[in-house]
Amino acid sequence: MSEHPLSGTGVSTSHPVHANLTAPGLVSHALRRGEGRLSASGAFIALTGQHTGRSVQDKFVVDDPEVTNEVWWGRINQKMAPEKFAGLAEKVRAWLAARPVLFTQDLYAGADPAHRIRVRLVTTNAWHALFARNMFIRPPAAELPSFQPDFTILHAPEYEANPAADGCRSSTCIALSFAARTILIAGTSYAGEIKKSIFTVMNWLLPARGVLPMHCSANVGKAGDVALFFGLSGTGKTTLSSDPERSLIGDDEHGWSDTGVFNFEGGCYAKVIKLSREAEPQIWDASHRFGAVLENVVADDDGELDLDDNRHTENTRSCYPLEFIPGVVKGGMAGKPRNVVMLTADAFGVLPPISKLSPAQAMYHFLSGYTARVAGTEKGLGKEPQATFSTCFGAPFLPRHPEVYGKMLAERIARDGADCWLVNTGWTGGAYGTGHRMSIQHTRALLRAALDGSLAQVEFVRDPFFGLMMPKEVPGIPAHVLNPREAWADKAAYDATARQLVSLFEKNFESFAGAVDEEVKAVAIKAAA
């Protein structure tokens, strides 16, 4: 245990501070304090109240003079004046100091010792401390007495900010100061804010060190072949990287350095709505163990989980340590990627289940970061699919301009010779409401063929709308699955829908046209006449 559990945080209190408790101690405190309940299999279930996802509009970056010229200011990174942050931080510290008990965790972000940072969390809730302990990397006990944080998270979920006085939008505020190396999280109990705030920090620090930070999962085969899986929520990033035939490096955040890939985290944060044991046995088993944290998951009076119940949110989550996954890569590090996979859940039903990308196409689709949302996944969506473009498959967590990450990816792919693939885990045979979801068995089979090198040997044909190279024949996969146009009964409707999606891609990419080279510009797809 650290001798000074609040050292470096600016918080001073005479009340009890529980530092670096392990899972049994944290669960015991959480149950005694009424923070949640246990499932029948021993996982801790917590409800997060009105916030069941990230509060994107309430995220701020402090406009410190030393960073102002490099931050990607705008809707993603809203400015907060340094004096406003200082005032709010003082109030949050005073509020935390007045709580009857605090919990702290000293943790690492970054499995590679050359690129990791030390993080200290101060929170009012035992279950939030357990979440952080699951998600980040737990230092050996011998390193705790001398632990001093590089960044501090002051987590005050019940504190309500004052927009007029504090320079924020609402009573909820997530504010990050690179100069003060401090993160304030106030007015929200959604634990994902803790995880993603540190991801934003890593996205700021690592490019200056020549390391590409990535919103992706990663695994490695028996031959040492590393694969990366980029994708937004709901595209299968966690599911597809949790493959029993390959070893998981991590499910969400990684760095790509000169020596290889390393995980930022020590745990997984899986979306579990409609999770089935048959389709995703590793995630299922990990979510049914003592030490896992379940957010907004429904259970009956006996604690039996109903993972199909979305009464609280579609964004139900399970958080568990990486060691809950059999065969996980110990140490969280592996070699250079051999394959880069970009995942999309195309609800328009027009993209192929898998296609091979040229390096220029890879950068184009990386900067585009496309998926589609459908009714039932978010409030306010109508019956028609809505295209979503999140640059670099992680726009909400990018403090620097997207081109910084795009150019780094292109350089890494060229230097290390990785093959690139676009995989559609969305709809086929029609758009959402008419077609059906891609078979996960087909997706897994195609991915395995791509990763073992056999798919690169088949004949490819060019898609006329997007310029994508689709495999013509793959053993065990019906031909109409490989070519999405063939899966549509109404070919004219497919053509019209494909042109519609092409136009959405083109419109989205307009903002990048001046920041990429001619080869990437040439990828800018044109609708067929």
What are the φ and ψ backbone dihedral angles of 185, each rounded to 5 degrees? -125, 115
Residues 150 and 86 sit within 8 Å (Cβ to Cβ): no
Two tokens, residue 89: 């931080």
Catalytic residue among 155, 237, 271, 356: 237
User: Rounded CA gap, 498 and 134, in Å?
Assistant: 42
Catalytic residue among 55, 238, 239, 257: 238
Active site residue 317: yes
Two tokens, residue 45: 């279930």
Q: Which helix (H) or strand (E) holds 343?
A: strand 337-344
Active site residue 181: no
Catalytic residue among 29, 115, 138, 215: 215
Catalytic residue among 7, 41, 171, 233: 233
Catalytic residue among 29, 54, 155, 254: 54
**Length of the chain, please?**
529
Longest Cα–Cα distance in the chain: 73
User: Rounded CA gap, 471 and 482, in Å?
Assistant: 7
User: Rounded CA gap, 334 and 331, in Å?
Assistant: 9
- Hey, which residues does 216 pair with through a beta bridge? 230
Catalytic residue among 317, 356, 373, 412: 317
Residues 56 and 174 sit within 8 Å (Cβ to Cβ): no
CA-based nearest residue to 286, from 321, 245, 310, 252: 321
- DSSP secondary structure of 287-316: HTSTT-EEES-EE-TT--EETT--SS-S--
User: Rounded CA gap, 328 and 324, in Å?
Assistant: 8
User: Rounded CA gap, 350 and 354, in Å?
Assistant: 12
Catalytic residue among 58, 106, 252, 463: 252
Active site residue 215: yes
User: Rounded CA gap, 408 and 203, in Å?
Assistant: 12
User: Rounded CA gap, 89 and 181, in Å?
Assistant: 12
User: Rounded CA gap, 1 and 58, in Å?
Assistant: 34
User: Rounded CA gap, 290 and 24, in Å?
Assistant: 9
Catalytic residue among 128, 138, 196, 288: 196
Residue 352, CA distances (Å) to 8, 199, 238, 487 in order = 51, 31, 21, 10
Residues 318 and 287 sit within 8 Å (Cβ to Cβ): yes
- Hey, which residues does 306 pair with through a beta bridge? 298
Residues 120 and 153 sit within 8 Å (Cβ to Cβ): yes
Two tokens, residue 130: 């357990």
Active site residue 196: yes
* Residues annotated as part of the active site: 54, 196, 215, 233, 237-238, 252, 317
